A and B are shown apart, each in its own frame.
Chain A
Amino acid sequence: MEARTAYSIQYWLESCPQGYLKGTEYGHERGAKEPDFLLENPVLRDEAIGTTVQLVVGERAALAASSGLINAAPDAASKDFLATQTLDEARHVEIFTQRLFDLGVKRDELESTITRLANPHLVRFAEILLEKVDKKDFVAGVVGQNIVLEGLAFSTFEMMQTANRDTNPKFARTLSGTIADERRHVGFGENRIGSLIREQPEKKPEIERMQKDMAYHMLATFADRFRGQASAMREARRVVQEQASRAGAAPKSHVWHGTDLSNADASEMEAVLADTVLKEFKTRLARIGLEYQSPERP
């Protein structure tokens, strides 16, 4: 497919809102609800709110970045694509914000909840990206947004989607739609930026430094989140096992990149997510002619 077609509003309309989102409401089946075991258990509900806040923080950054890059885009096809991405990211902000409301966050406490629970490393990760966007640095902005941030989101959503497939179909369906969006976004980053980097090789060191800084703060976010989640994970497993035994069935396994998410402990979960994201970074950066820079391990 030609770039002009693949990046067009027409293609996006037919594949996304008129395609995989058709018939959905806030990204899930109409009328679907968060499971009772989650809403009624304060440990699990708080953990779900904490996780969803990180998703909102990431998506707000993606919305600011994709919209901020439109004026810096060098051609109409890129502007069109970023316009569709802007609305995708706005939709993600909307559906994850709605999930916070579904989990019981009051509307007038939304901002204070986000401020209180946002991981400071994730906030810094977003700031590094938005500094490039503010300078209208299109190439660095697209690498930071469509390779690094979207690569992070893509793998994180995939892992969460796998883990929630049987226990929370509403959230898993919401994540499926965002994964489909992120796949398009990552593809744009790879296809469009490779040629621009070949034209401006002098930009490589600065972009690689940005990638290294962003990767460090990403790993630090993972470390904070997983290490703080250990007790909630144990509680979630206890509840799932209790439900399964009541139904007379064994809990299902959910294998993702070789790790059974139903049994893995927090450090194993952190390791599989970090390794998967970093491996994806290396592959995708190499495709556009950049060399992956290893950050320090937090």
Chain B
Amino acid sequence: MSLDPGELHGRDHAAFLREVHSFEFWFQSVEGYLHGHPHGVSPDAPIPELDAARRQALIATLSTYCVGEVAALEGSSGMIGFAPNRPAKIFLATQVVDEARHLEVMLHRLGELGVEDAEASFEAQSNPHLLAFRDRLLRYVAAKDWLASVFAQNVILESMEFAAFHTHMRTADPRTAQMLGGVLKDERRHIGFGENDLGRHLARHPEARLRLREIKRELDPLVLASFEDSLEQLGLPRSERPEVGRLYLESVARLGLDT
């Protein structure tokens, strides 16, 4: 699965905003894959039996994902207050529901895995590097720093999640894979928003690239360390791990920030 930035960037900006940043567009987008899929999975999908080690690894990984989703929920909701225009506010409102839904389906899956009070325990189980990333993101949001917030939230965090979920889907049990598939479809929209917003800003203000590079330099170690820990938990062979980093770096590179 790969993003198609050409399609996003090729459109007239005003028409793009009117079409894509709307409740109508969001609902048309999600209806196809959410209708009849309570908690993001088909009711027919069996709940697989996992051995103890695999179950524990999945609990730890999903707990880390929950931290990412809380960060995205708090980040996107906080950004609505200082988004520069109405279409951006409306897009972020659709993202807020997406992120809350991701958290909800992941907590539900943790419940299926036997975690009694997943909401109370996921943070303690999760990756410290991702917790540090969340703090950094929420600081940008609290400072009402639009450029840094969109970059950290809709490009870095979303790309990180996209790469992690995409890779995880290949080895996950079918029920988890189906849930992650729906989440990935949302993430593509979120990355598209970030790329479009920043891409157009950078075209007008190329000097801003310098600042974004600095933010990326600061956040990359946290992102890559989060990947390393999560993939270790999932038992992904070391030889396949560079692939995850590549998926992440490709998204960021589309903004010309790879050097």
Which residues of A does B touch, CB under 8 Å? 8-10, 12-13, 17-18, 21, 25-26, 63-64, 67-68, 70-71, 75-76, 79-80, 82-84, 86-87, 89-91, 93-94, 97
Can you list 22 A-B contacts with CB-CB less than 8 angstroms, sorted by A residue number? A9-B97, A9-B101, A10-B38, A12-B97, A13-B101, A63-B93, A64-B80, A67-B93, A67-B96, A70-B74, A71-B77, A71-B138, A83-B77, A83-B96, A83-B97, A86-B96, A86-B97, A87-B26, A89-B93, A91-B23, A93-B89, A94-B90
Which residues of A sit under 8 angstroms from B90, Cβ to Cβ? 90, 93-94
Complex CA distance for A87 and B104, rounded to whole angstroms: 16
Which residues of A sit under 8 angstroms from B97, Cβ to Cβ? 9, 12, 83-84, 86-87
Known contacts A87-B96, A93-B90: does B24 contact A67 (CB below 8 Å)?
no
Q: Are A70 and B96 in contact (CB under 8 A)?
A: yes
Secondary structure at the A interface, as helix, strand, loop or mixed, is helix
- Most B CB contacts (10 A, CB to CB) among A21, A70, A82 go to A70
Q: Are B23 and A25 in contact (CB under 8 A)?
A: no
Which residues of B does A touch, CB under 8 Å? 22-24, 26-27, 31, 34-35, 38-39, 73-74, 77-78, 80-81, 86, 89-90, 92-94, 96-97, 99-101, 103-104, 107, 119, 138
Known contacts A90-B23, A94-B23: does B74 contact A71 (CB below 8 Å)?
yes
Q: Nearest chain-B residue to A133 (Cβ)?
A: B81
Complex CA distance for A134 and B32, rounded to whole angstroms: 37
Q: Nearest chain-A residue to B66 (Cβ)?
A: A76
- Most A CB contacts (10 A, CB to CB) among B24, B74, B92 go to B24
Smallest beta-carbon distance B18→chain A, Å: 9
Which residues of A sit under 8 angstroms from B34, Cβ to Cβ? 13
Q: Nearest chain-B residue to A16 (Cβ)?
A: B27
Which residues of B sit under 8 angstroms from A26, Cβ to Cβ? 24
Complex CA distance for A186 and B100, rounded to whole angstroms: 20
Q: Are A87 and B39 in contact (CB under 8 A)?
A: no
Partner of A8, one of B35, B93, B104: B104
Secondary structure at the B interface, as helix, strand, loop or mixed, is helix
Complex CA distance for A90 and B25, rounded to whole angstroms: 13
Smallest beta-carbon distance A261→chain B, Å: 30
Q: Are A25 and B24 in contact (CB under 8 A)?
A: yes
Apart from A12-B97, A68-B78, A83-B100, 6 more pairs, CB < 8 Å: A10-B39, A63-B89, A67-B92, A71-B74, A83-B97, A93-B89
Which residues of B sit under 8 angstroms from A71, Cβ to Cβ? 74, 77-78, 138
Complex CA distance for A181 and B31, rounded to whole angstroms: 19
Which residues of B sit under 8 angstroms from A10, Cβ to Cβ? 38-39, 101, 104
Which residues of A sit under 8 angstroms from B104, Cβ to Cβ? 8-10, 80
Complex CA distance for A44 and B97, rounded to whole angstroms: 37
Total contacts A to B, CB within 8 angstroms? 90
Q: Are A67 and B103 in contact (CB under 8 A)?
A: no
Complex CA distance for A60 and B104, rounded to whole angstroms: 27
Q: Nearest chain-A residue to B91 (Cβ)?
A: A90
Q: Are B100 and A80 in contact (CB under 8 A)?
A: yes
The 5 tightest CB contacts between A and B, nearest first, are A90-B93, A83-B100, A70-B77, A67-B80, A91-B23
Which residues of A sit under 8 angstroms from B107, Cβ to Cβ? 76
Smallest beta-carbon distance B183→chain A, Å: 12
Q: Nearest chain-A residue to B104 (Cβ)?
A: A9
Smallest beta-carbon distance A52→chain B, Å: 15
Complex CA distance for A87 and B99, rounded to whole angstroms: 12
Complex CA distance for A49 and B181, rounded to whole angstroms: 44
- Most B CB contacts (10 A, CB to CB) among A21, A71, A84 go to A71
Which residues of A sit under 8 angstroms from B92, Cβ to Cβ? 67
Q: Are A64 and B100 in contact (CB under 8 A)?
A: no
Q: Are A79 and B73 in contact (CB under 8 A)?
A: yes
Partner of B73, one of A8, A83, A94, A97: A83
Q: Nearest chain-A residue to B102 (Cβ)?
A: A9
Which residues of B sit under 8 angstroms from A89, Cβ to Cβ? 93
Complex CA distance for A9 and B22, rounded to whole angstroms: 18
Partner of B22, one of A70, A75, A94: A94
Q: Are B81 and A64 in contact (CB under 8 A)?
A: yes
Q: Are B89 and A17 in contact (CB under 8 A)?
A: no
Q: Are B31 and A87 in contact (CB under 8 A)?
A: no
Q: Are B103 and A76 in contact (CB under 8 A)?
A: yes
Smallest beta-carbon distance A39→chain B, Å: 22
Known contacts A13-B34, A97-B86: does B78 contact A84 (CB below 8 Å)?
no
Complex CA distance for A80 and B105, rounded to whole angstroms: 12
Which residues of B sit under 8 angstroms from A76, Cβ to Cβ? 103, 107, 119
Which residues of B sit under 8 angstroms from A86, Cβ to Cβ? 77, 80, 93, 96-97
Q: Nearest chain-B residue to A69 (Cβ)?
A: B77
Which residues of A sit under 8 angstroms from B138, Cβ to Cβ? 71
Smallest beta-carbon distance B73→chain A, Å: 7
Q: Nearest chain-B residue to A91 (Cβ)?
A: B23
Smallest beta-carbon distance A223→chain B, Å: 29
Q: Are A18 and B93 in contact (CB under 8 A)?
A: no
Smallest beta-carbon distance A10→chain B, Å: 6
Which residues of B sit under 8 angstroms from A21, Cβ to Cβ? 27
Which residues of B sit under 8 angstroms from A93, Cβ to Cβ? 86, 89-90
